[in-house]
Amino acid sequence: MIGFDNDFFVPIMIFMIPIVAIIGGVSAGVVKMIGQQRLLELAQRERIAAIERGVDPAKLPPFPAQGGHDDIASMYMSPQHAARHRASHLMTGGLVTLAAGIGLGIMLGLITETSDKNVWSVGLIPGLVGVALIVSSRMVRRSADEPAGAPRA
């Protein structure tokens, strides 16, 4: 019977995890760029077809790139609606990250058997990232709620 040699298998797996993560992240970025380029191309074709049928170009929705949206789902939304959409996602991410940081800090504080009782402070890192996301959500939401021509204070 052939068995796994841990002296060979474990080091390979240790290095394969970050390699797969990096390749996956780069691949996801490339797929997203290709998808956005294809979407822009289809929007241009749709615009050309509408103009050929006699539709006034001023009544057509703006191109996805002109709206300044990174999210494909919000490309035809108004800028205020897209900002509210972005703010809700930032708030959700912030609350989840803050809860993870608090939970990590409590867990490390409870299971520590060493003389170092400050291990709980590791939870401050994701907790403060969550607070930063919540603050940025409020800032995006505030800018979305301002009237279009109102001066900023």
Q: What is the pLDDT of residues 70-101, one digit of tens each?
A: 556 666 677 777 788 888 889 999 999 999 99
Q: Residue 51 CA to chain centroid, in angstroms?
A: 35
Same domain, 37 and 16: yes
pLDDT for the residue 1: 47
Residues 40, 81 share a domain:
no
Inside any domain, residue 111: yes
Within a domain: 47? yes
CB atoms within 10 A of CB 143: 13
Question: Rounded to an integer, what distance in angstroms lies between the CA atom of residue 106 and that of residue 111?
Answer: 9
pTM of the model as a whole: 0.54
- Identify whether 150 is part of a domain: no
Same domain (yes/no): 51, 22: yes
Predicted confidence at residue 35, as pLDDT, reads 86
Question: What is the extent of the structural domain holding 118?
Answer: 77-145
Is 50 part of any domain? Answer: yes
Pair 58, 87 in one domain: no
Same domain, 82 and 114: yes
Over residues 12-29, the pLDDT tens digits come to 878 888 899 999 999 999
Give the contacts of 94 (CB within 8 A, at least 6 positions apart). Answer: 130, 131, 132, 133, 134, 135, 136, 137
Do residue 6 and residue 67 come from a single domain? yes
**Of 73, 95, 130, the domain-final residue:** 73
CB atoms within 10 A of CB 98: 20
Domain boundary among 73, 105, 123: 73
Instruction: Please count the structural domains in the chain.
Output: 2
Q: Provide the pLDDT for residue 81.
A: 79
Q: Is residue 19 part of a domain?
A: yes
